[in-house]
Chain A
Amino acid sequence: MDEFNNRMDAQRNILEVINRQAGYTEELCGLSKNAIERWISSNHLNPRAEICEILFQITNKLFFLANKSQEQITEEYKLLSSEISALKITLEKAMG
């Protein structure tokens, strides 16, 4: 598997942790800062809640997945896989 698709898988895995949980009005559509802010607002969550803060941390690692136009084609950024995996585990714990 190439690096680009690995990064997309990492994003998919994080989103599944959130979206498989019942009870949210809207699903989390992506891991861009704007998508997370929409999700927080539409579900009336506290932006300082642990789950939200973890998501923003993940976004900072994965910002390259939310970038624009043809930049996705480049292999510009290294996958911070171990850090993202660790954050996924933290997120799962925070979700209970």
Chain B
Amino acid sequence: MHIYAFGSVCRGEIDSKSDIDLLAVVDGYDNRFDLSIYSIYSYNRLSDLWQEGNPFAWHLASEAKIIYSSNGKDFIKQLGLPAEYNKCIEDCRKFYNLYCKAVDSICSGGSSLVFEMSTIFLAIRNFATCFLLGKKQIGNFSRRSALQIGDRSIQISPDTFDLLERSRILSIRGTGKMIEKEEVRSSLEEISSIKIWMNDLLVEVETNG
């Protein structure tokens, strides 16, 4: 068994919204772990992710820190670098579709506003991370990756970005100030404009792969 920390705490991105991401790598089924605290992978599955060049493998390779090893070795370090990431187009389209569906749900009167706003945050963050990894060969696994693409960064106000991030934290951790309908309504135009940003980056991704 191996246990790692990864995520914001390993990047030194500490703020009031930081939590600690923990990964357990186990052999087969292990029911000792609280699934709301640990991400659990088998050794074989993690090795497969490395061979696929999956963004999560790149994420772990770049920042996971070992906390416990039952055999005294660092399993992730032994895996070396993951294979080249080659699903950028597919993944960016996937997160574009995820974003579109969430916006459609809000605009058509869906009842789960916080969940939809949280989904938009997830979509833009993962879209940006996949774009940077696939197109620029940059591993950026920050919650704020969409703001860190230089002149290709997402153009939304800090208030709207914070609203989306607040929704994500409410949806996952159940903490924070509840989102009011009026807040969503007043940011909807800006949120809808994210589609243009995604479309522009998709064109870049789809051009020359």
Contacts and interface: CB of A to CB of B under 8 A. Distances in A.
B36 A5 contact: no
Interface string A25-61: 0111110111111110000000000000000000010
A34 B37 CA distance: 11
Interface in B54-91: 54-56, 59, 91
A60 B36 CA distance: 10
B140 to A, nearest CB: 10
A70 B56 contact: yes
Interface string B162-197: 000001001111110010000000000000000000
Instruction: Say what secondary structure dominates the interface of chain B.
Output: helix
Contacts of A28: 112, 115
Given A12-B112, A19-B111, A19-B112, A68 B39 contact: yes
A73 interface: yes
A48 B112 CA distance: 23
A27 B59 CA distance: 33
A69 B141 contact: yes
| Interface size class, chain B | 35 or more
A34 B36 CA distance: 8
A49 to B, nearest CB: 18
Interface stretch (B93-101, B146-154, B198-206): B93-101
Contacts of B101: 5, 8-9, 12
A2 interface: yes
A66 B39 CA distance: 10
Contacts, number: 114
Contact of B7 (A16, A37, A69, A74): A69
A4 B93 CA distance: 12
A38 B115 CA distance: 14
Given A29-B167, A33-B36, A16 B111 contact: yes
| Interface size class, chain A | 35 or more
Contact of B94 (A4, A15, A33, A60): A4
Interface centre among A11, A34, A73, A76 (most CB of B within 10 A): A73
A93 interface: no
B111 A20 contact: yes
Interface of A: 1-2, 4-5, 8-9, 11-12, 15-16, 19-20, 26-30, 32-39, 60, 63, 66-74, 76
17 contacts: A4-B98, A5-B94, A9-B101, A12-B115, A12-B116, A16-B110, A29-B112, A30-B174, A34-B36, A35-B171, A63-B36, A66-B171, A70-B55, A70-B59, A70-B141, A73-B54, A73-B129
Interface of B: 6-7, 19, 21, 35-36, 39, 41, 45, 49, 54-56, 59, 91, 94, 97-98, 101, 105, 110-116, 118-119, 122, 126, 129-130, 141, 167, 170-175, 178
